[in-house]
Amino acid sequence: MVLLGCLITGFSVRYQERVNPKKEPLISVPEIYFPEVNQNELVAEITGLQQSQEKISHADLSARLADIEMDGALLADVDGNLILSPQIKDFFEFLFVAVGDVDAELIVAFIHYYADENLPVTAAKQVKQVLSDYLIYKERAQQYLQTETPPTGATPVEAMAQAYQYLASLRREQLGSAVATAIFAEEEAYSDYTLARMKLMGSPSLTDEDKKQQLTILVNNLPPELAQIERRKQERSNTAKTTMAILQSGQSLPEKRQQLERIYSAERVDIILDQQRQEAAWQQRYEHYRRERQGLQTSAGLSDMDKQAAIIRLRGHYFATPQEQSKASVYDAMFEQSVGSQ
């Protein structure tokens, strides 16, 4: 389930790229109880709750939360009930991630305190119940992802579909259908999109143009904010592919510059072309190094230990910085793997 875990993490990262940080609740009401959050007060309140435990310093909390916009919200409607939306989960996750070294019990205590201070009594009780159920769900989901193995013979798409279905059922079992559907709405929409996209891209019967058209439809069916994020991601990917194609073409430098300036500013083009020159020079150095390294490896007069020491000295001769030496080591491993697979 490593792949699924990575994809869930990928969703969380992508989810933070919101184009509209002031997320609207799923249920629109004419009046809500939602006081403005003062970041300094937030730090002070958390610090006050943890003083007896002395787990972390006020400065540490300040550093973690300073200049960070609060994600998510706890809102109540005019009847005093908690408004169910993805913002609840965002609020929980923000605190557990933003103040990661604080004991979980302290974060729970702070959320209880925050709810009591800022929400009607009924909504505050509902927050505490949702939080309790949510944390139990998270623990059970983590256990599943760490221990469950895909069915024998299942494709990656089939294994992920089964896992997504299990997690969706687990959410509704633990939190109830209404709460789970509301607070996981966007995550489940993105999960459905991910699976559909993988099936689409893996279809051998579709042309590239067919896939492109159907992918556009899938993206358009996402919630608006996620759709815009996904479009930006695709635009960056397409731009990167176009740039690489230009750089790897056999055109002259002025021709490459002319084409790149249709995409980037002149200053950015200078940086790109300079990076290409540096990379070409590095690759040339590596080729010289690789040939000498191969000669050392095949030398009959050196022991294995002497060969290894000589290769390390050779690497230091060709590559001055630790970063370049690490890169060369990666290339060495890739070369050895390619030779071994032949």
Q: Are residues 174 and 124 in the same domain?
A: yes
Same domain, 146 and 101: yes
In a domain, 240, yes or no: no
Residue 168 forms part of a structural domain: yes
Distance CA 90, CA 74 (A): 10
Q: Rounded CA gap, 310 and 296, in Å?
A: 7
State the Cα–Cα distance between residues 77 and 309, nearest whole angstrom: 70
Does residue 229 belong to any structural domain of this protein? no
Compute CA distances 269 → 200, 264, 279, 282, whole Å: 35, 6, 15, 20
55 — phi, psi (to 5°)? Answer: -80, -40
Task: Determine, yes or no, domain membership for 59.
Answer: yes
| 149 and 294 share one domain | no
pLDDT under 50 in the chain at which residues?
2-3, 6-39, 50-59, 61-62
Domain count, the chain: 2
Query: Quick one: 193 and 304 in the same domain?
Result: no
Quick check: 243 and 263 in contact, CB under 8 A? yes
92-139 per-position pLDDT tens digit: 998 888 766 677 888 888 888 889 988 999 999 999 999 999 999 999
Q: Do 81 and 16 sit in the same domain of this protein? A: yes
Q: From CA 171, how far away is CA 183, in angstroms rounded?
A: 10
Domain end residue (candidates: 220, 249, 274): 220
- Among 191, 220, 249, the domain-final residue is 220
For 72: left if phi > 0, alpha if psi spans -120 to 50, otherwise beta; the answer is left
Residues 208 and 303 occupy one common structural domain: no
pLDDT of the residue at 12: 47
CB atoms within 10 A of CB 70: 17
Length of the chain measured in residues: 342
CB-based contact 72:89 (threshold 8 Å): yes
How does 256-283 read in b/e, with b if 16+ C-beta sit within 10 Å?
bbebbeeeeeeeebeebeeebeeeeebe
Within-domain flag for 311:
yes
Asked if the structure places residue 88 within a domain, the reply is yes
Mark which of 220, 246, 273 sits at the end of a domain.
220
Would you state the pLDDT for residue 86? 92
Q: What's the token pair of residue 153? A: 């013979």
Asked if residue 267 and residue 176 are part of one domain, the reply reads: no
Question: End-to-end alpha-carbon separation of the chain, Å?
Answer: 31
To which residue do tokens 């990661």 refer? 100
Say whether both 38 and 130 belong to one domain.
yes
Backbone angles phi, psi at 82, to 5 degrees: -65, 130
Give residue 64's Cα distance to chain centre.
Answer: 19
What pTM did the predictor assign?
0.62
Element (H, E) at 16: none
Q: Do residues 166 and 113 lie in contact, with contact meaning Cβ atoms separated by under 8 Å?
A: no
Within 8 A by CB and 6+ apart from 42, the residues are: 65, 70
User: What are the residue ranges of helices labelled H in the chain?
Assistant: 2-15, 39-50, 58-65, 86-98, 104-118, 121-147, 156-175, 177-183, 185-201, 208-220, 224-248, 253-260, 266-297, 304-318, 322-340
Domain limits at 189? 2-220
Query: Does residue 33 sit in helix, strand or coil?
Result: coil
